[in-house]
């Protein structure tokens, strides 16, 4: 906690400076002349920073706001730049101070404001080395407080602007090596500076609440670029409910379709007969509500056979006539076609006779055997399950859409990562 | 030792008799997560702060709270600008031998290695409430904070009247809750 000193004059240029931080502030960098003053030794000048371009940030020294119920004051500003492979990244860190919760950071990058604070917990493993990042097949990971963090990015940054109070001694000559790992709701930074390693946790506060609380002028806030990796878009419960409902409905529809396909009663079977004879198969339909299924089987193997069928009623009047082919081909690890062909008809109640004869057959595949036998069977009371199958496919597509959206949302969080799977 | 709230004087228990020891000093109001008489929950303990001492280090100060848990055991809860630590007095039998107080020095406590990370000379500015030891206003205390594995902390304290070791853990202020 600081004593009652609230203002001082810069010992270099005489400008009036506000004292906003607590007793653990080590350095005060004059906003006017860039002199670095030793806050623990009568504000003696210990360094002089020059040619510092002021960064674009909506936060000024002395701004107050509340984060998760705790009051913080902006006491310092450091702008950082990182160069790599011809690209430049820049961001601004503001040191903030709370008499009860100590020192933390508000960072402005790519139009987002994050809150970062030091943690004394040490992750396992404690370090992610550059060599590990270079050679690892999968993203390196660490565990901290029961949460798993996956590698997100790493680099080396240098300050370009320093102003205000800090609980350490920043310098324009400093470099900071960082490794950032992403968890479910927070990021973990492993910071190496000299022989010291520090760990920081970053959260993404509600942006509107934060900016309102600190009284930030919206016009000064840079427009957000890509989505922030901590922007976990929690889907409303109704969406999760609908996803589960769709997947459940798809499963039920397919299961019902299977059960429905088993319905029906076999009422006539010709038995296997040579294909040279014509099959005459009488049968009776007792209900016009359901379908009648006629199945033609033949032992065509790596060959095909063509059958002509005619259906007549009690008065020998033609009711239906159709042709069906049976073709079946197979190899050591494949097969195609079927030795069965099915036809479904809607018939009125009454007696019928099915006439079936093979009209043509041929072998057109190596090792094929021409059809020599055939069989006809009739099943009545059959239901058509295709509408249930269609419903299952439709519901499945809806469920898959929700899952794809979730996957897309997850991959969006990692869009800014510098990890390359190759 | 206790401080009389109405008159601000301190008394010390010596030979089963209370002796007047001086004043409790001036305790400036400051925001705090810990206050005398208000229970806090931390590290699975419910603690009642009964004594509040403030130590100045020139530009600023930190607070030490003497707290009693549900078993009547005493703990020191220190609060220094967001850095909180909960420590218990280390029994003299556990005190490390051959400790030479200096920054960076290492020492073994209960089988773990601790390193001195901070050294501070602080002056007792004010006291309120009850304490297990005598604290004199304006008395200088030399503090050495030592960091151990897994967020452990040990503190060596030396003053004109003696020395003491405490041992405990760093706390996250966001985990400190009013009971």
A343 has pLDDT over 60: yes
Q: Which residue has the higher pLDDT, B122 or A406?
A: B122
Cβ contacts of B175 on chain A, cutoff 8 Å: none
Of B31, B56, B149, the CB nearest to A100: B31
Show Cβ contacts of residue B96 under 8 Å, excluding neighbours closer than 6 positions. B107, B108, B109, B165
Read off the tokens for A145.
């407080």
CB A83 within 8 A of CB A74: no
Q: Which residue has the higher pLDDT, A33 or B19?
A: A33
Name residue, tokens 């006779």. Answer: A353
The strand pairing partners of A70, in sequence order, are: A67
pLDDT tens digits, residue range A53-70?
A: 999 999 999 999 999 999
Q: Which of A3-12, A45-54, A130-139, B81-90 has the lowest mean pLDDT?
A: A3-12
Domain boundary among A220, A239, A256: A220
Instruction: Check which CATH number belongs to the domain holding A304 and give it.
Output: 2.60.120.380
Domain limits at A354? 265-382
User: Is the alpha carbon torsion for A131, A136, A138, A144 positive or negative?
Assistant: negative
Please tell me whether residue B52 adopts helix, strand or coil conformation: strand
Task: From residue B79, give the alpha-carbon distance in Å to each of A99, B52, B144, B162, B168.
Answer: 10, 11, 16, 23, 14
A136 in the same domain as A73: yes
B1 has pLDDT over 80: no
A5 has pLDDT over 60: no
Does an H or E element contain A9, and which?
A: strand A7-9
Read off the tokens for A138.
């999968």
pLDDT score at A78: 97
CB A22 within 8 A of CB A36: no
A285 in the same domain as A148: no
A175 in the same domain as A54: yes
Average pLDDT over residues B97-118: 88
A303 in the same domain as A184: no
B15 has pLDDT over 70: no
pLDDT score at A218: 86
A304 in the same domain as A169: no
Q: Which of A267-281, A352-366, B9-23 has the lowest mean pLDDT?
A: B9-23
pLDDT score at A203: 96
B88 has pLDDT over 90: yes
Strand-strand pairing, A112-119 and A196-203:
antiparallel
pLDDT tens digits, residue range A153-208?
A: 999 999 999 999 999 999 999 888 999 999 988 999 998 776 678 899 999 999 99
A76 in the same domain as A216: yes
Angle made by CA atoms A219, A95, A90, in degrees to the nearest 5: 60
CB A268 within 8 A of CB A281: yes
DSSP string, B130-143: B-SS---TT-EEEE
A202 in the same domain as A111: yes
Q: Which residue has the higher pLDDT, B12 or A376?
A: A376
pLDDT score at B18: 63
Q: Mutate which of A1, A26, A72, A117 to disrupt the B interface (most B C-beta within 10 Å)? A: A1
Q: Exposure string (b/e) for A262-271, b if CB count within 10 Å is 16 or more?
A: eebeebbebe
> CA-CA distance, A326 to A307, in Å (whole number)?
8
A286 in the same domain as A162: no
Is residue A409 one of the residues assigned to a domain? Answer: no
Half-sphere exposure for A285 (CA within 13 Å, toward CB) = 26
Average pLDDT, chain A: 91
pLDDT tens digits, residue range A233-280?
A: 777 788 888 989 999 999 999 999 999 888 889 999 999 999 999 999
A272 in the same domain as A201: no
The domain total for chain A is 2
Q: Which residue has the higher pLDDT, A66 or A120?
A: A66
Q: Where are the domains of chain B?
A: 2-178
B37 has pLDDT over 70: yes
The strand pairing partners of A313, in sequence order, are: A352
Q: Which residue has the higher pLDDT, B172 or A422?
A: B172
Average pLDDT over residues A78-97: 93
Considering only alpha carbons, which residue of chain B is nearest residue A97? Answer: B81
**B174 to A119: CB separation less than 8 angstroms, yes or no:** no
Cβ contacts of B59 on chain A, cutoff 8 Å: 2-3, 5, 23, 25, 39-40
Q: Hey, how many other C-beta atoms are within 10 angstroms of the C-beta on B88?
A: 13
pLDDT score at B19: 67
pLDDT score at A194: 65
Task: From residue B19, give the alpha-carbon distance in Å to each of A351, A391, B44, B130, B135.
Answer: 120, 90, 37, 14, 13
pLDDT score at A21: 92
- ipTM score here? 0.81
Of A23, A100, A121, the CB nearest to B60: A23
Average pLDDT, chain B: 86
Q: Which residue has the higher pLDDT, A43 or A85?
A: A43
User: Is the alpha carbon torsion for A12, A15, A16, A18 positive or negative?
Assistant: negative
Q: What is the dihedral of CA A223, A228, A232, A236, to 10 degrees?
A: 20
Is residue A422 one of the residues assigned to a domain? Answer: no
Q: Which residue has the higher pLDDT, B160 or B71?
A: B71
Angle made by CA atoms A144, A147, A153, in degrees to the nearest 5: 75
> CA-CA distance, A168 to A346, in Å (whole number)?
88
pLDDT score at A415: 85
B75 has pLDDT over 60: yes
Please tell me whether residue A211 adopts helix, strand or coil conformation: helix
pLDDT tens digits, residue range B18-36?
A: 666 667 677 777 888 999 9
Of B61, B151, B172, the CB nearest to A1: B61
Read off the tokens for A303.
């060959």
pLDDT band (50, 70, 90) for residue A384? confident
Interface list for chain A against chain B, based on CB atoms closer than 8 Å: 1-5, 22-25, 39-40, 68, 71, 97-103, 119-122
Is residue A238 one of the residues assigned to a domain? Answer: no
A310 in the same domain as A161: no
User: Is the alpha carbon torsion for A31, A33, A35, A39 positive or negative?
Assistant: negative
pLDDT score at B120: 85
A421 has pLDDT over 80: no
B11 has pLDDT over 80: no
Q: Which among A171, A170, A139, A167 is positioned nearest to A153, based on CA atoms?
A: A139
């Amino acid at each position: 906690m600081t004593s009652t000193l609230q203002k001082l004059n810069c010992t270099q240029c005489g400008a009036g400076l506000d004292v906003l931080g607590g007793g653990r502030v080590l350095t005060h960098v004059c906003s006017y002349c860039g002199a670095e003053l030793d806050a623990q030794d009568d504000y003696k000048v210990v360094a002089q920073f020059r040619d510092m371009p002021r960064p674009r940030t909506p936060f000024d020294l002395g701004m107050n706001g509340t984060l998760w119920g705790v009051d913080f004051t902006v006491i310092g500003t450091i702008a950082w730049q990182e160069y790599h492979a011809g690209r430049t990244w820049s961001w601004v860190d503001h040191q903030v101070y709370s008499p009860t919760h100590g020192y933390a950071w508000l960072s402005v990058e790519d139009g987002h404001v994050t809150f970062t604070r030091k943690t004394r917990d040490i992750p396992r493993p404690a370090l992610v080395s550059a060599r590990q990042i270079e050679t690892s097949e999968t993203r390196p990971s660490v565990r901290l407080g029961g949460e798993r963090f996956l590698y997100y990015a790493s680099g080396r940054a240098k300050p370009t602007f320093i102003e205000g109070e800090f609980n350490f001694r920043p310098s324009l000559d400093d470099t900071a090596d960082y490794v950032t790992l992403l968890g479910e709701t927070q990021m973990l930074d492993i910071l190496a500076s000299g022989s010291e390693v520090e760990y920081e946790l970053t959260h993404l506060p509600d942006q509107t609440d934060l900016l309102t609380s600190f009284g930030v002028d919206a016009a000064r806030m840079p427009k957000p670029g890509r989505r922030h990796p901590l922007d976990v878009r929690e889907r409303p419960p109704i969406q999760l409910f609908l996803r589960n409902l769709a997947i459940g409905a798809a499963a039920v529809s397919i299961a019902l379709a299977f059960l429905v396909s088993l319905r029906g009663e076999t009422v006539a079977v010709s038995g296997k007969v040579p294909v040279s004879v014509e099959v005459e198969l009488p049968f009776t339909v007792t209900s016009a509500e359901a379908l009648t299924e006629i199945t033609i089987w033949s032992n065509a193997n790596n060959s095909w056979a063509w059958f002509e069928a005619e259906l007549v009623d009690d008065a020998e009047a033609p009711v239906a006539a159709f042709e069906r082919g049976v073709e079946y081909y197979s190899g050591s690890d494949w097969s195609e076609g079927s030795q069965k062909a099915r036809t479904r008809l809607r018939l009125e109640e009454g007696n019928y006779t099915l006439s079936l004869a093979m009209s043509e057959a041929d072998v057109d595949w190596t090792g094929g055997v021409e059809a020599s036998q055939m069989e006809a069977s009739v099943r009545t009371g059959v239901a058509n399950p295709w509408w249930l199958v269609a419903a299952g496919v439709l519901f499945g597509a809806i469920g898959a859409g929700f899952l794809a959206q979730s996957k897309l949302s997850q991959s969006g969080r990692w869009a800014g990562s510098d990890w390359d799977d190759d | 030792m206790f401080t009389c709230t109405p008159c601000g004087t301190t008394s010390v228990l010596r030979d089963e008799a209370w002796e007047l020891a001086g004043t409790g000093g001036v305790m400036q109001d400051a925001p705090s997560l810990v206050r005398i008489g208000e229970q806090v929950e931390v590290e699975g303990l419910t603690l009642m702060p009964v004594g509040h001492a403030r130590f100045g280090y020139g530009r600023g100060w930190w607070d030490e709270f003497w707290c009693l848990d549900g078993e009547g055991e005493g703990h020191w809860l220190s609060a220094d600008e967001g850095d909180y630590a909960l420590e218990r007095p280390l029994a003299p039998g556990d005190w490390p031998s051959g400790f030479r107080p200096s920054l960076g020095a290492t020492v073994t406590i209960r089988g773990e290695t601790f390193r001195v990370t901070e050294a501070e000379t602080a002056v007792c500015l004010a006291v309120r409430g009850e304490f297990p030891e005598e604290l004199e206003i304006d008395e200088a205390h030399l503090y050495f904070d030592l960091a151990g594995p897994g967020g452990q902390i040990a503190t060596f304290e030396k003053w004109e009247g003696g020395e003491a070791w405490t041992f405990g853990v760093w706390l996250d202020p966001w985990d400190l809750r009013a009971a």
